[in-house]
Amino acid sequence: MKRDLDRRRFLKIAGVSMGVGALYTVWPGLGGSAEAAEAARRLGLKTGEKPTTFTFAQLSDAHVGFDGPIGTRALEKAVDSLNALPQRPDLILFTGDLTHDTEKPGEHAARMKRFQEIVSRLEVPKVFHIPGEHDAGLDGGELYRSVFGPTYYSFDHRGVHFVALDNVSRARPEVGAEQRAWLARDLARFHKTAPLVVFTHRPLFDLRPDWEWFTSDGDEVMSLLAPYENVTVLYGHIHREDHHTVGHAQHHAARSLSFAFPDPAQVDDKKAIPFDKDQPFKNLGLRVAEHAHGRAAGADTVKVEDVELTMKEFSGTEGFNQILKPATF
103 binding other proteins? (CB under 8 A): yes
The answer to whether 173 contacts other proteins (rule: CB under 8 A) is: yes
The H-or-E segment that residue 324 falls in is strand 323-324
Do residues 219 and 180 touch, judged by C-beta distance below 8 A? no
Quick check: 209 binds other proteins (CB under 8 A)?
A: yes
Q: Is 110 in the site for other proteins (CB under 8 A)?
A: no
CA 317/CA 287 separation, integer angstroms: 5
Q: Does 141 bind other proteins (CB under 8 A)?
A: no
Among 101, 229, 241, 318, binds other proteins (CB under 8 A): 101
The answer to whether 302 and 14 are in contact (CB under 8 A) is yes
Q: How many CB atoms lie within 10 A of CB 242?
A: 16
**Sign of torsion over alpha carbons 278, 279, 280, 283:** negative
Q: Are 10 and 37 in contact (CB under 8 A)?
A: no
**Of the ranges 12-20, 68-76, 132-140, 181-189, which one interacts with other proteins (CB under 8 A)?**
132-140
Q: Which of 133, 217, 241, 318 binds other proteins (CB under 8 A)?
A: 133
| Residue 203 is a binding residue for other proteins (CB under 8 A) | no
Least distance from C-beta 91 to other proteins, angstroms?
28
* Binding of other proteins by 102 (CB under 8 A): yes
- Our finding on whether 217 is near other proteins (CB under 8 A) is no
Residues 6 or more apart from 264 whose CB is under 8 A from it?
207, 208, 211, 213, 238, 270
User: Smallest distance, Å, CB 204 to other proteins?
Assistant: 15
| Burial (CB count within 10 angstroms: exposed 0-12, middle 13-18, buried 19+), residue 277 | exposed
User: Contact between 301 and other proteins (CB under 8 A)?
Assistant: no
Does residue number 210 form part of the binding site for other proteins (CB under 8 A)?
Answer: yes
Of positions 31, 41, 150, 171, contacts other proteins by CB under 8 A: 171
Return the range that interacts with other proteins (CB under 8 A); candidates 21-29, 80-88, 95-103, 178-186: 95-103
Quote the CA–CA distance of 35 and 37 in Å, as a whole number: 5
* Residue from 5, 110, 138, 246 binding other proteins (CB under 8 A): 138
Closest of 167, 163, 165, 135 to residue 148, by C-alpha: 135
| Residue 212 makes contact with other proteins by CB under 8 A | yes
Residues that bind other proteins (CB under 8 A): 101-103, 133, 137-138, 168, 171-173, 206, 209-212, 216, 270
